[in-house]
Structure 1
Amino acid sequence: MKRIFTLLICITVALQGYSQTQPAPQTYNFSIQEAIDYALTHKDSVINSGLDVKNADYYVKELIGQGFPQIDGTASFQDYLKIPTTLLPGEFFGAPAGTFIPVKFGVKYQSNLGVNVSQLLFDPSYIIGLQGRKTYKELYNRGYTSTKIDVTTKVTKAYYQVLVSNEQIKLLDANIAQLKQQVDQTTAQNKQGFVEKIDVDRIAVQYNNLVTSRENTLRLLALNYQLLKFQIGMPIENSLTLKDGLNDVKLDENIVETVADTASYKNRIEYKIFETSLKLSEFDLKRMKAQFLPTLKANVAYTASYQNNSFKDLYSTSFPSSYVGLTLNVPIFSGGQRTNQVRQSEITVLKNKNNLLGMRNGLNLQAAQAKIIYMNSLQSLNNQKRNQELAREVLRVSKIKYQQGVGSSIEVTQAQTALESADNTYVQSLYDALVSRVDLDRAYGRIQ
């Protein structure tokens, strides 16, 4: 029992220590811009893209370092357990012709210490690589910008989804409140014998369905909050509330009039990335052509050699040697490899030019499409607003007629159903309009 009690105490202390090391959940209240700013510093894809930019910087420094002196140190040690034997002709020592005398050259211990220095003097491929280093860094910087634009778009849409869900709950609450009042009135009238039980049941069914719909929407709202936290890179356990409302978002036709259809593709980061890729392929073509030119290097070496039959006296005497020289490499024939590499690079350049043209046409089409979709979404949203108002008016008139005895409960039920349908359609149209606004801004390169 004592062992079990001690074990329980240890587990309790460990759990308390673990809970104390865990960061406590935090509460945030974000506007759209604040949510975007948080995402740009916490979202994993943005962080990784920033690391790619740093990695590109290191690659450029590695490339530049190839033009600096290359210094290597060498050291070797040999212990000849058996010194190599060489056979010399016997006549050298007065022996009969055709005989050989075994002779051992060398000593038991040998060691060499040296330094080698090489300096690149001329290499066209290296020069072209230096010329393209800015373009190489530009590619990753633009990729970083593209990632931030993509994250900004996703965060904005997720933020709007939460706003729309909140609006939907407000509409449901309003409908539930007025329907609850109607249920109470109809129930009271039934008790007084003015209406039939079936009228109460019809309204009760609608009321129950509306309450269930609200509960489902609340669960979806919680999920939308989690999606928003995921898009901005926030831990799910943190609490998040929104500052901005739907009234802070401008949805009007004047936005469309401010965008220009011509050359909008030049503002798109996707087009700029393709431009950079084309430049890099052109630099690669130049580099391949430079392989036909010679290269020149300067070489300097110094070596100290140590030899002795006694290990303790090995480093007492050195036999140094050194040299200075040039190495010229002239390409003569490679079996057509360099020629075929140049042709492959030429094809890559042509393909990138075709891709750039296709990208330009595709982005222009995307901009025109986004403009039309946004205009249609605005028109649908305005139409659904009118339908919503009409549905409310129809419900109001139907309830008056029913109360005055000139209408039926079925008319009231149908009017209530029509209002719920109009509310749902309005909410969907509102979300479509908000999303199309984001797509319009991205299509015209206004999200940076």
Structure 2
Amino acid sequence: MNARRLHIVILSGVAMVTAQTAGAFDVLRAERNISSTAAGAMLPAVDGCPTGAPARPLHLSEAVERALCSNPKTREAWADVKAQAAAVGIARAAYLPTVSANWQGVRENSVVDIRNHPTLGTDYTSTVRSEGVSLNWLLFDFGGREAALRNANALLEAARATQDATLQDEFATVAKDYYAVQTAIGELDAEKDVEHMTRQSMVAAQARTDRGIAPVTDALQAQTQHEQAVFGLTKAESEAQAALGTLASDMNLDPAEPLEVPPVTEDARTDATFSEPVAQLIRDVQIEHPSVRAAQAQYAAALAKVSQTRAQGLPSISLVGKYSSDNQPESMGLGLPTYPATGHEAYIGVQVSIPLFEGFGRHYQIDQARAQAGRQQDAVDDARRKVALDVWTSYQALTGATRNAQNSAQLLDTAQQAWKAARHRYDAGVGNILELMNTQAALANAKQRRIQTLADWDNARVDLAAKLGRLDASDLAHDDNQGSP
């Protein structure tokens, strides 16, 4: 192998190694800030994703980690970020030259028979090789590459913001479903208490009827209320299982996966968690919310697309070069023998490309890009309107849930005292079955309302935090430290 061929082989090897290195080590540094899991920056302390069976009991922090890491929606948003980061790398690569190498080897057999003149014919066989290296480097294109890079960077920012919004939504969804499980378990426990309470009343009423102290209607009414309690208990059991299956599905587990979730504690704190006025919250969210940032980035990308489309219709200047060599045999003329030969070709120069006529297509492409930019600008306004309404609605829901949580505690305490008094009066023979049944029903309703208001407060708090785009790992620590949301 001569020195020239060795040079070509080395260049080919360098090109292959460069391509492999770019894929493995991100030479253009386009993918350096991509998170290692689908949970993104929401849970930066997570080292990988939870695997295996869920812990018993399952805390909210683990449920959220599993959902953010494994849910198809979050993984799809993560894949979009990786794809758009690669698009940024493609846009940056447009500033670099392209170098390509080629090699060809053929076995050639040529036979020429000239009638009545055999001496003029030829018959030869040879192995012909050719190799070459070509260079193309775009030097100037009136800002086309710059606009393409701005477009790619803006779309990457939009993908990251969309991922943040997806994580916020999924965080809120799994938290609400976790609270729904706690509520269902709490209501199941309350229904068990009601069933036990009505069974005791039924036994007491039957005993008084057997002794002739009370009419048979007392026993029948008490039995009816107990049967209603059994009906409610059965319904609560099925609703608890349905809520557990929904939570398991959020974590990308089989709905039949056995889960153990702690119930709601009645002494959970239900104080306000947002001290800013609602007007300030709305102003902040119209700037900071991930969906607004995504819409703004999409608008910036659309503006860059207008510049890119316009530049593609303008001239471009490139540096071009080529070197090639071959061993094609040569002959001095027809009928003369061929002789081994080598040849080479080399050039370097500047190429100017000027689009002269594109059938007016470029004009309409620019108009299309402008219209799409206008549409994205409207999308920004719509995103701001939507997040403002969402924050207002969620803020009012949290305000009402906070007051109702406090009221439900007082209602439960009063209902418990009323039932104890009615039970004591009935056992002493001075009360009647209707009074006892009414206080039992009121107590059962108060217990259910207390559980529901606690769940409503938790849902409203998480919903407002999600609407503000403020959900993060600190919310998990707050909930786990309380023992329940």
CA contact (8 A) 2:191 2:236 kept: no
Q: Which amino acid aligns with 1:186?
A: A
Gapped regions of structure 2 (runs ≥ 5): 1-50, 115-119, 332-336, 473-485
CA contact (8 A) 1:301 1:322 kept: yes
Match of 1:99 in 2: none
Mean alpha-carbon deviation: is it higher for 169-178 or for 365-374?
169-178
- Cα distance 1:106–1:244, how it changes in 2: closer, same or farther (>3 A)? farther
C-alpha separation in 2, matches of 1:435 and 1:278: 33
Q: Distance in 2 between matches of 1:237 and 1:31?
A: 18
TM-score (norm 2): 0.73
Residue 263 (1) aligns with residue 283 (2): yes
Distance in 2, matches of 1:403 and 1:30, equals 43
1:328 maps to which residue?
352
Tell me the CA shift for residue 284 of structure 1.
0.8
- Deviation of 1:276 after TM superposition, in Å, equals 0.8
Paired residues for 1:409-428 under 5 Å: 409-428=433-452
Q: Which moved more, 1:160-169 or 1:242-251?
A: 242-251
SS of the aligned residue for 2:57 comes to: strand
Query: Is 2:88 aligned against 1:70?
Result: no
Query: Displacement of 1:243 after TM fit?
Result: 5.8
Partner of 1:117: 135
Q: Structure 1 residues 228-237 or 191-200, which shifts more?
A: 228-237
Aligned residue identity for 1:305: D
- Would you say how many aligned residue pairs link Structure 1 and Structure 2? 407
Alignment match of 1:157 (pick from 168, 173, 176): 176
Instruction: Indicate the residue corresponding to 2:466 in structure 1.
Output: 442
Matched, 1:366 2:385: no
CA RMSD of aligned residues (A): 3.4
Q: 1:26 to 1:291 in 2, by over 3 A?
A: closer
Name the counterpart of 2:480. none
Determine if contact 2:186/2:264 at 8 Å carries over to the other structure.
no
Q: Is the CA contact (8 Å cut-off) linking 1:374 and 1:437 kept in structure 2?
A: yes
Q: 1:102-152, CA deviations, whole angstroms, 9 ceiling, x for partnerless residues?
A: x99997666543322212212221122234443232222222222221221
Q: Secondary structure, in 3 states, of the residue corresponding to 1:298?
A: strand
Matched letter for residue 337 of structure 1: G
Shift of 1:248: 7.9
User: Shift of the alpha carbon at 1:31?
Assistant: 2.8
Write out per-residue CA displacement over residues 335-376 of structure 1, whole angstroms, 9 at most, x where no aligned residue.
222122112212222222222122212211221111112222
Question: Do the aligned residues in 2 keep the contact of 1:264 with 1:445 (CA within 8 Å)?
Answer: no
Once the two structures are superposed, what CA deviation does each residue of 1:181-208 show, in whole Å capped at 9, x if it has no partner? 2222222222222123332222122223
- Name the counterpart of 2:46: none
Judge conservation of contact 1:107–1:309 (CA < 8 Å) in 2.
Answer: no
Letter in 2 for 1:115: V
Instruction: Tell me the CA shift for residue 430 of structure 1.
Output: 3.3
Take 1:205 and 1:421, find their aligned partners in 2: how far apart are those partners?
Answer: 17
% identical equivalent positions: 18
TM superposition shift of 1:282: 1.2
- Name which of structure 1's ranges 294-303 and 36-45 shifts more when overlaid on structure 2: 36-45
Residues in 2 aligned to 1:439 and 1:63: alpha-carbon distance in whole angstroms: 39
Matched, 1:142 2:161: yes
Instruction: Give, in whole Å, the separation in 1 of the partners of 2:113 and 2:393.
Output: 84
**CA-CA distance at 1:160 after TM superposition:** 0.9
- Provide the rounded CA distance (Å) in 2 between the counterparts of 1:437 and 1:184: 44
- The two structures have a TM-score, normalised by structure 1, of 0.79
Question: Within 1, Cα distance between the matches of 2:60 and 2:338?
Answer: 76
SS at match of 1:377: helix
Q: Tell me what 2:192 maps to.
A: 173
Unaligned runs of 5+ in 1: 1-22, 86-102
**Cα distance between partner residues in 1 of 2:181 and 2:403:** 23
1:38 counterpart residue number = 66
Q: Which has the larger radius of gyration?
A: 1
Secondary structure of residue in 2 paired with 1:307: coil
Q: Pairwise mapping of residues 20-35 of structure 1 onto structure 2 (< 5 A)?
A: 25=53, 27-35=55-63
Change (3 A) 1:404 1:261: same
Letter in 1 for 2:83: N
